[in-house]
Structure 1
Amino acid sequence: MIQRLATSREALLLGAIVVLLAVIATRFPAFITPANLANVFNDTSPLILLAIGQMIVILTRCIDLSVAANLALTGMVVSMLNVAVPGIPVPVVLVVAVGLGTLMGMFNGILVWKLDIPPIVVTLGTMTIFRGIIFLISDGKWVNSHEMSAAFKAFPRAEFLGLAMLSWMAIIAVILFYVVMTRTTLGRAIYAAGGNPHAATYTGINVGRTQFWAFTISGAIAGLTGYLWVSRYAVAYVDIAGGFELDVVAACVIGGISIAGGIGSVGGAVLGALFLGVIKNALPVVNISPFWQLAISGGAIIIAVALNAQSNRAKGRIILKSAEHAA
């Protein structure tokens, strides 16, 4: 039990985060104060939310490259809605955001399920479509802080037990989807559909429908994050969260979610997001240019994929050796 825990991807990643924090603390002790760590977690919360949705999609052997564009379109729509109707209650805004994000996720899922189009092609296309729609509905204009109502901007910043609501939304999502992935029929179907689609089909699981629900969940989470993002930063524009899908995929892969499907956990996605969050918050502190962030994310993806491939290869050799001994 202890040996398995020590060699698990989650334990190793947690250890890497602790070591990283310790190294940073040797130069800047204030970085590891509880207040600053709470701020780092809050800054990373949008990435945690999107990484959970992306994890579910990747587990089914798919990928969703439209999550950042979904976030941006939803954020622009709810921002424009708030400008048009300043008194609209926040719960209604949340419903609109989640609903719109869900519809965009369903659109991706239908194209993958019913038309059998490769997920990377579908989501590359819808990523561009969603960004184009933002430009059309906004005419390329920004929605700025002074145009947003106080209540619209206040929700993600409101504090409860010392944490902002944005952080609490991420924590709730982690708990909810941990239960979904480990205790429900849908969670088991997602793992089965990605782990062995042919065997899953023989057991009565509709792989295409399962992928559809994975995209739908990812879209709903992206929609929710869209509102939280624009309300927290108090701005909405066409290129909001541009390139953020790379960070989302990086968080998943670093967290041990296999691109081949069927392997990964909510905990791994969260730790992968936190690893990137610590790096991105630490770079300015240690006087490293923010332009290195993309290079670091890309390098982390390559290293993580290599580690995943090596792990799978090792497991394969063990199986073959066992078969030889049995013969």
Structure 2
Amino acid sequence: MSTTSTERKEPRTSARTSSNRFIGIVSRVRELGLLAVLLLIVIIVSIQVPRFLGLDNLEQILLSIAILAIVAAGETMVVLTRNVDLSVGSIVGLTAYIAANTLKEHPGTNVLLILLFGCIIGLVLGAINGLIVGIGRVPAIVATLGTLYVFRGLDFMIAGGNQVTAYQVPDSFLALATTRILGIPALILFAAAVILSFAFFLRSTRSGRQLYAIGSNPDAASRIGIRANRLIFMTFLLSGLLCGLAGVLWGARYATVDARAASGLELQVVAAVVVGGVNIFGGSGTILGVTLGAIVLGTIDNSLTLLKLSQFWLQAIDGAAILTAVTLDAFITRWIRRRLLARRQR
């Protein structure tokens, strides 16, 4: 009996080790590639515009991608399970307006309560997505495309054509983005805390590792007892939570908020996730890679401004980056898989 049990465990352990090794190799290759691309951009632009490497400009790049990185962290978990959340921009926009408008109507409200309120809104909207996809088993791309329009429509209905400006909210709200702690803008620290927390979650917790298993092989994950639907629901819930947080920070950073806030953010988020090396078919990728992807996109955006090139190029570049990343991802994945298979056969 013990021999049989040992024989059963050994293949499973071996398979798991090989899978982890494969994911690790693919992630390292992608991240090194991203660093090379980032270095190339920095060299080219700094030659043309020497002030590109100034501390003020580097800080502006990090500020510009801080909210993007927070939302992308949540999207990463969703994509790891072979799903996608296209409603993130609408959730951020709706939360931003509700948070700013609440402070406009009740200026004495504690900002920490507004942060909590925003997170609750995000959780509720994320739960709706999670129920439709995880429990109702509706394809995520269809479900979240629908909620993208529903949530944005709700935003327009609540806003009613109005907007909230910086003069109508208390300074304590704007301070969420402008306050410096040890010389570092609070917005960057918010993003860093989210990135580190969720990187730890994916790397060091059982649930985090199970997300990779679901994306790598859903049938095998089901056979070993992983409750995929429950975990998929959890990823949408966490994605909504981070969108709620990002919405409040969006309102604090940009001050003027209306029903169009964060429009198009979903494209940037998906671009950061895919360019950052998360396999669009699930199962591999890291928060570090996604952060690098966001930094690359933010650096390109900043470079276009400094080089005085049209910002209309930005969406074209984002789209091209997605296509290039998916193509390279498929190529690298197949190449490494063949190498590992050849090594096993030896």
TM-score (norm. length: structure 1)? 0.95
Confirm or deny that 1:283 pairs with 2:294: no
Q: Which residue of 2 aligns with 1:264?
A: 285
Q: Which residue of 2 aligns with 1:161?
A: 182
1:141-160 to 2 correspondences below 5 Å:
141-160=162-181
Q: Which residue of 1 aligns with 2:76?
A: 55
Confirm or deny that 1:226 pairs with 2:247: yes
2-structure distance, mates of 1:210, 1:120: 17
Q: Which residue of 2 aligns with 1:100?
A: 121
| Matching residue within 249, 254, 260 for 1:239 | 260
What is the identity, as a one-letter code, of the residue corresponding to 2:335?
A
Q: Runs of 5+ in structure 2 lacking a partner?
A: 1-24
The superposition leaves residues 259-315 of structure 1 with CA deviations (integer Å, 9 ceiling, x where unpaired) of: 110110011100000000000011011121000000000001111100011112223
Which segment drifts farther, 67-76 or 39-48? 39-48
1:115-126 to 2 correspondences below 5 Å:
115-126=136-147
2-structure distance, mates of 1:172, 1:185: 21
2-structure distance, mates of 1:245, 1:132: 16
2-structure distance, mates of 1:317, 1:6: 16
**Against the structure 1 CA distance between its residues 305 and 6, is the aligned structure 2 distance closer, same or farther, given a 3 Å change threshold?**
closer
1:17-166 to 2 correspondences below 5 Å:
17-166=38-187
Kept in 1: contact 2:215–2:281 (CA 8 A): yes
3-state SS, counterpart of residue 244 of structure 2? helix
- Aligned-residue RMSD, C-alpha: 1.7
Kept in 2: contact 1:6–1:12 (CA 8 A): no
Aligned residues: 323
Confirm or deny that 1:309 pairs with 2:324: no
1-structure distance, mates of 2:134, 2:235: 11
| Matching residue within 319, 326, 330 for 1:298 | 319
Identity of aligned residues (%): 36
Q: Runs of 5+ in structure 1 lacking a partner?
A: none
Kept in 1: contact 2:27–2:277 (CA 8 A): no
Confirm or deny that 1:10 pairs with 2:31: yes
TM-score (norm. length: structure 2)? 0.90
Question: Which runs of structure 1 show a deviation greater than 2 angstroms over 4 or more consecutive aligned residues?
Answer: 4-7, 315-323
Q: Which residue of 2 aligns with 1:178?
A: 199
2-structure distance, mates of 1:36, 1:5: 32
